[in-house]
């Protein structure tokens, strides 16, 4: 698919009427999410094509206390060539020049990632603003954004203050995200809602609306550190708010599920959700990303089975 030109979400004034009018039919949402993987079946060459597309939308991520320059360098090498050369040859996809969507790291490793990715065109994303809890003093959280942007990060994954959602203080949430958006400057801002900690689905829907009105380029389900991370129910709720926001403003906002997405089957379910709810336009790295560290290994394993008819051991396609 050719690269789209996306007009960046400029945000709009806070519309409290739209926020207060939010309703979500939980049982209907759960039923819809439960049928996503059973109503459609993607097999053989089509499945391989979908999985190849999924690779290009992965934010290949390492967010661990033992991250080192060497570990990040190895991860970036995998980002540059996400499939083994023999698989590329067997699938005859060398002309696609596959890479992942981005590499996501802590601020301390931003410059290591930039150095390892130089010339590849792969953006570097930095988690910021007191990731994952978002409970650092607010000036410190803003300064984190400035420092990551100055270090060269192309994208900033920020976390919201969950208490604003839980207390229904939508003005505070709007003002917070607006200031973070200003701090990001030209770097794209992915706004993490931490949906597993927001309570009912209508809170997820309301938080999605407020963050988009405040100028979020993407809305993201989770940090990956919560006890409940990306769920199809939350994703369905957020996708429908993205669609409603586009209808209201004309802006296309991206979506990123993150946390717990480890299998090729998981990836296919998310792609089906996006295709059915938002359309083919969103099936690109400009508007959709997976936040994942282990997903690529299983996708590579499934593609190996497609090429050879046999399942390879996971250590035959290590991440680093």
**pLDDT recorded at residue 1:** 45
Query: What is the rounded CA–CA span in Å between residue 258 and residue 43?
Result: 25
Look at residue 5 and tell me if it is in a domain.
no
Half-sphere exposure of 226 (CA within 13 A, CB side): 22
The catalytic position among 209, 252, 256, 285 is: 256
CA–CA distance, 56 with 79 (Å, rounded to integer): 9
- Could you tell me if residue 2 is inside a domain? no
- Using CA atoms, how far apart are residues 307 and 303, in angstroms rounded to an integer? 6
Is 220 noted as a catalytic residue in this protein? Answer: yes
Q: Tens place of pLDDT for every residue, the chain, 320 residues?
A: 456 688 999 999 999 999 999 999 999 999 999 998 777 678 889 999 999 999 999 999 999 999 999 999 999 999 999 999 999 999 999 999 999 999 999 999 999 999 999 999 999 999 999 999 999 999 999 999 999 999 999 999 999 999 999 999 999 999 999 999 999 999 999 999 999 999 999 999 999 999 999 999 999 999 999 999 999 999 999 999 999 999 999 999 999 999 999 999 999 999 999 999 999 999 999 999 999 888 999 999 999 999 998 887 767 776 64
Q: Is 157 a catalytic site residue?
A: yes
Is residue 3, in this structure, part of any structural domain at all? Answer: no
Q: What are phi and psi of 7, to 5 degrees?
A: -70, 120
Parent domain of 114: 16-316
Q: In what order do the strands lie in the sheet with 290-292?
A: 254-256, 218-220, 188-192, 155-159, 124-127, 102-105, 58-61, 290-292
Contact 287/259 with Cβ under 8 angstroms? Answer: no
Give yes or no: 252 in active site: no
Domain membership flag for residue 7: no
Alpha-carbon span 151 to 217, nearest angstrom: 20
Which of these is catalytic: 154, 157, 217, 266? 157
In a domain, 134, yes or no: yes
In a domain, 11, yes or no: no
What distances in angstroms separate CA 52 from CA 28, 82, 176, 216, 296, one per listed residue? 32, 10, 37, 27, 10
CATH number, domain at 220? Answer: 3.20.20.70
Q: What is the count of structural domains for the chain?
A: 1
Whole-number pLDDT of residue 86: 93
Find the farthest-apart pair of alpha carbons in the chain and give their distance in angstroms, rounded: 56
Please identify which of the residues 78, 220, 252, 285 carries the catalytic annotation: 220
* 284 neighbors 1 (Cβ within 8 angstroms): yes
Task: Tell me whether residue 63 is in a domain.
Answer: yes
Q: Report the distance separating Cα 127 and Cα 257, nearest Å.
A: 15
Is 173 inside any structural domain? Answer: yes
């Amino acid at each position: 698919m050719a690269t789209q030109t996306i007009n960046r979400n400029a945000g709009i004034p806070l519309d409290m009427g739209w926020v207060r009018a939010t309703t979500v039919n939980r049982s209907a949402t759960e039923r819809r999410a439960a049928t996503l993987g059973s109503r459609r079946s993607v097999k053989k060459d089509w499945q391989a094509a979908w999985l190849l597309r999924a690779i290009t939308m992965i934010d290949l991520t390492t967010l661990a206390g033992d991250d080192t320059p060497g570990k990040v360098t190895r991860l970036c090498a995998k980002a540059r060539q996400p499939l083994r050369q023999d698989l590329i040859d067997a699938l005859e996809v060398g002309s696609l020049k596959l890479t992942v969507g981005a590499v996501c790291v802590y601020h301390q490793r931003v410059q290591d990632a930039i150095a390892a990715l130089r010339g590849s065109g792969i953006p570097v994303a930095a988690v910021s603003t007191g990731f994952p809890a978002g409970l650092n003093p607010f000036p410190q959280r803003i300064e984190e954004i400035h420092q990551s942007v100055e270090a060269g990060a192309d994208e900033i994954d920020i976390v919201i203050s969950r208490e604003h959602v839980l207390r229904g203080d939508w003005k505070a949430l709007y003002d917070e995200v607006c200031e973070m958006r200003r701090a990001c400057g030209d770097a794209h801002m992915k706004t993490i809602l931490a949906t597993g900690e927001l309570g009912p689905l209508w809170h997820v829907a309301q938080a999605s609306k407020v963050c988009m009105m405040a100028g979020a380029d993407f809305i993201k389900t989770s940090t990956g550190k919560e006890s409940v991370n990306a769920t199809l129910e939350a994703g369905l709720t957020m996708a429908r708010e993205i669609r409603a926001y586009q209808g209201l403003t004309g802006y296309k906002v991206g979506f990123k599920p993150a946390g717990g997405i480890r299998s090729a089957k998981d990836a296919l379910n998310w792609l089906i959700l996006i295709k059915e709810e938002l359309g083919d336009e969103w099936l690109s790295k400009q508007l959709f990303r997976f936040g994942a560290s282990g997903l690529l290994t299983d996708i590579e394993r499934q593609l190996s089975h497609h090429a050879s008819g046999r399942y390879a051991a996971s250590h035959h396609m290590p991440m680093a």
